[in-house]
Structure 1
Amino acid sequence: MSADRPAESELRRGMTVEIEQSNADNAADADPIRGEIQTIIDEGESPQGVKVKLQSGITGYVTQVVTD
């Protein structure tokens, strides 16, 4: 896992995060998406980071916590 991506222990439901989308045909080319965490899907270490489901229903790997 990239050292600059947040660990699962740092994430909580309702936090606003930026993700790389994982459930789209064009996921590799898609822009990062911001949203609030609904569910943490992956509990453990993954090379891509922690996988979450946003309240919008989109799933992806957290790249950063948004601190606006």
Structure 2
Amino acid sequence: MSGNRPTEDELRRGMTVEIDQSNADNAPDADPIRGEIRTVIDEGDSPQGVKVELKSGVTGYVERVVPE
């Protein structure tokens, strides 16, 4: 996991983030998606980072928080 990825403690519902998709057929090749966090999904110490569900229903691992 990249040391620059936010931790679970830094993420809150409603924050805008950029994620790597985890529920798309082409997830490994897909571009990152931006959206607002609906739910932080507890992944423990996943090497991919913190998994979230966006308001759009897409789930994935947070790459970064998007500045407002």
TM-score when normalising by structure 1:
0.95
Aligned partners of 1:59 and 1:46: how far apart in 2?
15
Name the counterpart of 1:17. Answer: 17
Aligned partners of 2:41 and 2:30: how far apart in 1?
20
Whichever residue aligns with residue 65 of structure 1, its letter is V
Aligned partners of 2:32 and 2:2: how far apart in 1?
16
1:46 aligns with 2:46: yes
1:34 aligns with 2:13: no
Q: Which has the higher helix share?
A: 2
Q: Percent identity over the alignment?
A: 76
Name the counterpart of 2:2. Answer: 2
Large movers: runs of 4+ above 2 Å:
none
Q: Which runs of 5+ in 1 are unaligned?
A: none
